[in-house]
Amino acid sequence: MNFQFDLIEDKIEFFEANNLKTLQKKIESQVDENRAILLGVQSVSHQMHVNENGQTYFTAVVHFKKK
């Protein structure tokens, strides 16, 4: 029996939330999980949108890369 393990080298994840604190918690949680599989944060891109009712909406894209 032959086992072969391929490590993930790049991973891009998308996050969304109604406030920055929630968005930050989601990202931090995923950073911890990805650290366990030897991925570190390569870059983060984020945006904020305000709808016609004045409500804010936050999104982020995080690029994880093999350490």
Q: Which residues, in sequence order, are CB contacts of 9 under 8 Å at separation 6+? A: 65, 66
- Position 2 in a domain: no
Q: Which residue would you say has higher pLDDT here, 16 or 2?
A: 16
Once rounded to an integer, what is the mean pLDDT over residues 11-35?
Answer: 96
For residue range 40-64, list pLDDT tens digits in order: 999 999 999 999 999 999 999 999 9
| 30 within domain boundaries | yes
Report the number of distinct structural domains present in the chain: 1
Range of the domain at 40: 10-66
Token readout for 51 is 């709808």
Mean pLDDT across the stretch 14-23?
A: 96
Is residue 3 assigned to a domain?
Answer: no
Give me the pLDDT at residue 36, please: 92
In a domain, 1, yes or no: no
Mean pLDDT in residue range 1-10: 82
